[in-house]
Structure 1
């Protein structure tokens, strides 16, 4: 699976089960196109802070705003697009080769990330000029 453009970014509907006790969101393996190898989350991020600022060569990620909201700026080297995540029943599937930046975190926001790989620094592209070179190859 080789995703490399903004067109390949998807919003995934996370099933929500509701009753008088509240809502329950469920993410099972059939929902996302990869096996989950790592789970992490961002929280207590100041509203003026910036996260991300990288792309992945191989890793896929699903981002979910469990609480609050934040903006995700996506860049495939030619097109930039911004998406606001603000509902815990919507996930943003980010394919490989997409530069991402997260900003404008609301108070109390929590960003859950489900990743297709364990942490591997060699999979990260952290310099935008290196990203541009990667996209040309």
Structure 2
């Protein structure tokens, strides 16, 4: 089941600090970011067998649609204090990227092609 959480954020006169800790099980083993996505394009269109992912919109915005065996949920990510957790089994597609979007993804596992699930449930 996907979960949208608000990260701990501290607003101070000299800037804002947002903290990501104790959210994914185990260690963060992989980090990457998506940007420069052309208008109308989409990313992902897959799920994972064992990987947990945390999606954080560092800049701009995007839409994430997560499908599980039970339901389909839509999330609009548009502030860097948001974090969408996608657990194993959550098939997802990411689209509606703003032109300035930068989406940071933190993963609980290293890249493993055998962990990917492509058919939508």
TM superposition score category, shorter chain reference: over 0.9
Corresponding position: 1:25 with 2:32: no
TM-score by length of 1: 0.83
Q: Which has the higher strand share?
A: 2
Runs of 5+ unmatched residues, structure 2:
none
Corresponding position: 1:79 with 2:71: yes
Counterparts of 1:34 and 1:10, CA distance in 2: 18
Structure 2 partner of 1:100? 92
Retained in 1: the 8 A contact 2:24–2:52?
A: no
Aligned with 1:46: secondary structure? coil
Aligned with 1:122: secondary structure? helix
CA RMSD of aligned residues (A): 1.3
Q: Number of aligned residue pairs: give it.
A: 121
Retained in 1: the 8 A contact 2:40–2:95?
A: yes
**Any runs of at least 4 consecutive aligned residues in structure 1 with deviations exceeding 6 A, and if so which?**
none
Q: Which has the higher helix share?
A: 1
TM-score by length of 2: 0.93
Structure (1 or 2) with the larger CA radius of gyration: 1
Corresponding position: 1:16 with 2:9: yes
**In the TM superposition, what is the alpha-carbon distance from 1:81 to its structure 2 partner?**
1.2
Counterparts of 1:53 and 1:9, CA distance in 2: 15
Corresponding position: 1:122 with 2:114: yes
8-17 or 98-107: bigger deviation: 8-17
Retained in 2: the 8 A contact 1:15–1:27?
A: yes
Runs of 5+ unmatched residues, structure 1:
1-7, 133-137
